[in-house]
Structure formats: structure tokens, C-alpha cells
């Protein structure tokens, strides 16, 4: 990234409202987003050079199954699996290929159907020894939350306010899976999942897809001269240790955000709007600190000041985030990118962040023993 | 806080023919259970679970070693929703052992962050055929 000649531009976006679609195939969940992105871009399907499809649990050839439904086949189609970062990693592959001059027009689609697992917590890899001892994703985040509360005096009620904010935003978003406000009392009284989390502290499982058409400057000039561009695109992996680790620091996101800010040549306070990986309430607070928007232990003060709500200084997760918009794992990164591009283009509707010029997306996840997370992918988009 | 499972005595172990959820992680043959780690013969690095190849120096010459059986509870979570087989609710925690290794384990009794904990063995679940599922667990030391 960096040199203007090699930047990727976003020509089209597509997304379906997230929800539960047990009767639809993965392809039928995916193609409407891809179709919308292609039509919005104005690019003829014959000029799409390659497709990257992000899916964590979609199974073999997810991209081919989705693309063929709208007559796209024959070009290179690469399926990218990187847990919660699958489709953001797919965007990064597209950006790399455009930056290298390999392709001019690339489609990216993120698609997931979690209802095929019949509900409950996300299935984890049984070869992982922590899974053999009863590890589930909510427990991993709950351990972070309990340690953070222990060290910094955060209360369960303060933690619950993250969920209230998320659902205030999501209620305004027609693409959100949960379009309902919740009160702090409802958050506190809901069924326990993994203490200190109740149901409202956890993102819902569901199905969904989102897609983007990315292009070189040459193609962008022709189809959309004012297109939003990708100012930073990075993917990194967690660092393994079987020793002690400070679970109140999102080490992987700290590293990734430094790289992303440097690529874009900006500082944390230059971000106008962000979509970050709030899979569980504690995650949003820890990431405020990891991205440099709050000092260590002071994330709650940022939340309670209203700075991260719509109308604040740096609205975070205006879409409702994973907690409200939903988290069909492999589709999340692409959905965040669609949201931020539409925000920068001023067409986000009722949850528009006025005047946003620089936006950030962040998808991280993959529970593996010995890692903070398996993967993290951060993008910065600019007008 | 609830106590999801009981420490199973040796008699009970014999009666129910229990099944360890990950037999390679624990050596229950002696009077006290021990966690089984690997110690690289080339560089001395500890691995848990016992590695086949040393991530520090790539040697494949790794001996079995026992880990410390005492440590400090770094954090924990009380799990109410889990795959079937598990007895919910259960406490899951990270234990920082005195030899520098962090292990994930079921925690018995009333967990408290920074409590001193000690290794044991207990029933943690039930297999589809009704067999007791056992594992190593940690219990706060009074
Ligand atoms: Zn070694």
C-alpha cells in the first residue's frame, strides 16, 4: 500500500440483512450480496479478474458455489479460511493482488451459514487440547472480562452498557440481525452464558453474506472517480506461548493497529468511524485501548462519555457491531467493510456518522490454545 | 457459586471405569495425579501438551516430564452453556503453574482470582454411553 498507483478502490458493495436462514443453501445466502455489489459497481461481469471468498465453516468451494449462481465462473476463485477474519483476510488478498498489478477488478464475498450447526456456541476444533477440557469461546472472553474487572474495578453493569450501546445502534440498521433496543436491566437479568456474561453480552449466531468489488486506480477512474480507497490493509497472526500472558491486553490487535496506522500514515484520533470485533462486551472495551482511543484501564470512561456512540467523537460499531448486526463468522469482515464504505459515502441511513472521512474495520478471532487469537485483520478506508 | 462435580475416590474410579477426556495430559497412575509435559532434551524448553517437535529448536528428542502441581488462578469463567457431555455449570480457569506454564483446567469449589490452587482429578462430564468423563482439575487451597 502507500503509493497511489497501487491502491485498491471500492466500486461496489452488497450485503443481505443478517439473520437465521436454515432453509437457504450457502450459495443462496451468498449470491444476493455478490449480485448487489456487481450491479452497484457498474463493472461488467466479464471483467472480473478474480474472486476471493471468505468463509470459516462454509465447506469446500464456497466461493465457486456462490459465484456460479450469478454466472461467474472460469476466473481464479480462491477460498480463504481464517476464522472470524476470513472475509477481511479475503479483502487483504484482493488488495495485495491489485497492489501487485496482478488484477484490475476483484470481487470479494464473505458468506456463512451457522444455522446448519443447530445453535449453541460455535463448534471449535476438537484437536485443540483446550477444547478437550471444555473451552468454549464465551469462556475465553469471560476470563478476559473477569481478569479486567479484577485489575481495573470494572463492574458487570458497566460491562453491560456496551451491549445497550450496541443495540441502540443496531435498532437503526435495517441489515442488523437484532433490531431491538435493550435496557441495562434486561442485559443483567438475561440467562447466564459464561459468567459474567448473560445472553446479551454475547453476539448471536446466524447466517449472512456481504460483498465488495475492488479495483485498481485505472478501473476506478473509469467507473467511479470519487471511489473510497483502501488506505491500509493488514493481516497478522497471534503469537504462541504456553507461558503466562496478560489477558487484559489484546496483543494481536495492538500489533495490527500499529501496522495499519503506519500504512495509512494516520494517528488513532484520525479515525472518524470504526467497526470493531465486539464478539462479547469485554472485547469492545479492550479494543478501545488496543486502538489507542483510551488509556489502559480507562475504556469504560470513553464508553460512558458517549464518545463511541452515534453523535460522539468516534462512533464505534454504528451498525450495531457483532452484538447486534450479528456475526456469521466468515461474513463479518466483509460486512464491516461494506458498512464503513457506505458510511464514508454518506449513505448509511439512520445510523449515518455525519461527515466521516476515515473509517476502520477490525475482525479478529480463532480460539486456539496458546494464542491471544489466531488471526486479526484490520483495514482503513478513506475518501 | 455452585460446585459442579465431586472429587472421585480411587474406589469410584474402579467402579465406573472412568474415561479421561484427554488421557495424554495427565498421569493418574501414582498416588497423586501429575500433568504430563514435554522437556526438550536439546534446549530444555517445556511444552504442554507434550510436543512431538520442539517449537523452540525443532528437535524431535523430547522426554516426558511432570509439571508443577501447584499454581495461581489467573482468571476463570463460569460456563453455563457448553456442548453436551459437560456437567454445567462448570468453572474453567487459567492456572499459572510455578514452573512458568499456564494451563486451562476445570476449577473445583469456589474459584477466586489469584487464589493458590492444587492439582487433582475429578469427574467433569458424562459420555453418550453414560461413562463418567474424568479430567485433571484444580482446587483452591484453603
Ligand atoms: Zn528444543
Residue ranges of domains in chain B: 1-33+69-142, 35-67
C-alpha cell at B20: 479421561
Instruction: Kindly report the average pLDDT of chain B as a whole number.
Output: 88
- What pLDDT shows up at residue A312? 98
Q: What is the pLDDT of residues A143-176, one digit of tens each?
A: 999 999 999 999 999 999 999 999 999 999 999 9
In this chain, the answer to whether the domains covering A9-118+207-228 and A129-203+231-382 adopt an identical fold is: yes
- Is residue B27 pLDDT above 50, yes or no? yes
Which helix (H) or strand (E) segment is A86 a member of?
Answer: helix A86-99
pLDDT of residue B1: 37
Write down the domain spans for chain A.
9-118+207-228, 129-203+231-382
The pLDDT-based confidence of A9 (bands split at 50, 70, 90) is very high
- In CATH, A9-118+207-228 is 3.40.47.10: yes
Tell me the per-residue pLDDT of A228-283, one tens digit each, with 9 for 90 and over: 999 999 999 999 989 999 999 999 999 999 999 999 999 999 999 999 999 999 99
Q: A219: which residues sit within 8 A by CB, 6+ positions away?
A: A9, A11, A43, A47, A104, A105
How close does chain B come to A317, measured CA to CA in Å?
26
Partner residue facing A195 (CB), from B78, B101, B113: B78
C-alpha A272/C-alpha A316 separation (Å) is 9
pLDDT at position B6 over 70: no
pLDDT per residue over A292-303, tens digit each?
999 999 999 999
For A268-315, the DSSP string reads GGG--EEE---SBHHHHHHHHHHTTSS-TT-HHHHHHTTTTSTTSSS-
Pick the CATH number of A129-203+231-382 from 3.40.50.10380, 3.30.428.10, 3.40.47.10, 1.10.760.10: 3.40.47.10
Rounded mean pLDDT, B19-30: 90
Residue B125's DSSP bridge partners are B86, B133
- Prediction pTM value: 0.94
pLDDT bucket at B12, cuts 50 / 70 / 90 = very low
Q: With CB atoms and an 8 Å threshold, state whether A136 touches B104.
A: no
How far apart are the CA of B60 and the centre of ligand 1, in A?
8
Q: What is the pLDDT of residue A6?
A: 82
CA distance B48 to chain A (A): 7
With a cut of 80, say whether residue A5 has pLDDT above it: no
B77 touches chain A (CB under 8 A): yes
Task: Indicate the helix (H) or strand (E) that contains A5.
Answer: none
C-alpha cell at B15: 467402579
Which among B48, B74, B106 has the least Cβ separation from residue A147?
B74
Exposure letters A66-93 (e unless 16+ CB within 10 A, then b): bbebbebeebebebbbbbbbbbbbbbbb
Q: In angstroms, what separates the C-alpha of B77 from chain A's closest C-alpha?
A: 5
- For residue A196, which of A123, A247, A139, A134 has the smallest C-alpha distance? A139
Residue B79 is nearest to which of A134, A243, A369, comparing CB atoms?
A: A134
Return the CATH architecture of domain B1-33+69-142: Beta Barrel (2.40)
Q: What's the ipTM?
A: 0.92
State the cell numbers at A265: 500514515
Query: CA A294 to CA B113: how far, in whole Å?
Result: 25
Amino acid at each position: 500500500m502507500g503509493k497511489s498507483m497501487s491502491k485498491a478502490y471500492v466500486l461496489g458493495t452488497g450485503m443481505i440483512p443478517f439473520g437465521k436462514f436454515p432453509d437457504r443453501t450457502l450459495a443462496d445466502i451468498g449470491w444476493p450480496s455478490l449480485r448487489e455489489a456487481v450491479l452497484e459497481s457498474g463493472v461488467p461481469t466479464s471483467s472480473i479478474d478474480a474472486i476471493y471468498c471468505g468463509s470459516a465453516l462454509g465447506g469446500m468451494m464456497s466461493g465457486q458455489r456462490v459465484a456460479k449462481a450469478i454466472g461467474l465462473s472460469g476466473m481464479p476463485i480462491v477460498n480463504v479460511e481464517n476464522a472470524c477474519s476470513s472475509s477481511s483476510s479475503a479483502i487483504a488478498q484482493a488488495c495485495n493482488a491489485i497492489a501487485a498489478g496482478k488484477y484490475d477488478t476483484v470481487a470479494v464475498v464473505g458468506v456463512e451459514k451457522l444455522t446448519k450447526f443447530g445453535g449453541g456456541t460455535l463448534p471449535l476444533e476438537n484437536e485443540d487440547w483446550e477444547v478437550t477440557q471444555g473451552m468454549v469461546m464465551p469462556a475465553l472472553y469471560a476470563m478476559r472480562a473477569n481478569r479486567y474487572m479484577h485489575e481495573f474495578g470494572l463492574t458487570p453493569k458497566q460491562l453491560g452498557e456496551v451491549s445497550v450501546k450496541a443495540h441502540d445502534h443496531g435498532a437503526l440498521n435495517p441489515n442488523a440481525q437484532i433490531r431491538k433496543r435493550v435496557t441495562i436491566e434486561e442485559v443483567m437479568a438475561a440467562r447466564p452464558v459464561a459468567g459474567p456474561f448473560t445472553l446479551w453480552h454475547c453476539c448471536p449466531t446466524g447466517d449472512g453474506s456481504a460483498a465488495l468489488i475492488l479495483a485498481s486506480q485505472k478501473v476506478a477512474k473509469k467507473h467511479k472517480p470519487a471511489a473510497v480507497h483502501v488506505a491500509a490493509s493488514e493481516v497478522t497472526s497471534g503469537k504462541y506461548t504456553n507461558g503466562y500472558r496478560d489477558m487484559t491486553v489484546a496483543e494481536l490487535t495492538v500489533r495490527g493497529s500499529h501496522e495499519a496506522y503506519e500504512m495509512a500514515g494516520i494517528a488513532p484520533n484520525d479515525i472518524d468511524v470504526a467497526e470493531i470485533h465486539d464478539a462479547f462486551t469485554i472485547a469492545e472495551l479492550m479494543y478501545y485501548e488496543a486502538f489507542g482511543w483510551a488509556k489502559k484501564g480507562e475504556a469504560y470512561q470513553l464508553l460512558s462519555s458517549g464518545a463511541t456512540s452515534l453523535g460522539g467523537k468516534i462512533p464505534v460499531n454504528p451498525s450495531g457491531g457483532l452484538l447486534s448486526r450479528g456475526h456469521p463468522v466468515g461474513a463479518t469482515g466483509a460486512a464491516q467493510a461494506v458498512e464503513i464504505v457506505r458510511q464514508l459515502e454518506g449513505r448509511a441511513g439512520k445510523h449515518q456518522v455525519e461527515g466521516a472521512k476515515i473509517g476502520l474495520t477490525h475482525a479478529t478471532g480463532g480460539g486456539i490454545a496458546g494464542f491471544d487469537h489466531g488471526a486479526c485483520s484490520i483495514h482503513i478506508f478513506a475518501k | 457459586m455452585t460446585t459442579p462435580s465431586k472429587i472421585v475416590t480411587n474406589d469410584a474410579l474402579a467402579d465406573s471405569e472412568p474415561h479421561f477426556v484427554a488421557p495424554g495430559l495427565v498421569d493418574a497412575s501414582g498416588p497423586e495425579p501429575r500433568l504430563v509435559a514435554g522437556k526438550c532434551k536439546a534446549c530444555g524448553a517445556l511444552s504442554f501438551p507434550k510436543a512431538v517437535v520442539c517449537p523452540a529448536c525443532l528437535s524431535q528428542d523430547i522426554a516426558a516430564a511432570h509439571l508443577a502441581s501447584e499454581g495461581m488462578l489467573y482468571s476463570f469463567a463460569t460456563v453455563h452453556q457448553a456442548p453436551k457431555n459437560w456437567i454445567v455449570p462448570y468453572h474453567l480457569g487459567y492456572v499459572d503453574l510455578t514452573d512458568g506454564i499456564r494451563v486451562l483446567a476445570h476449577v473445583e469449589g469456589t474459584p477466586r482470582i489469584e487464589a493458590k490452587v492444587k492439582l487433582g482429578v475429578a469427574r467433569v462430564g458424562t459420555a453418550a454411553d453414560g461413562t463418567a468423563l474424568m479430567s485433571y482439575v484444580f482446587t483452591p487451597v484453603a
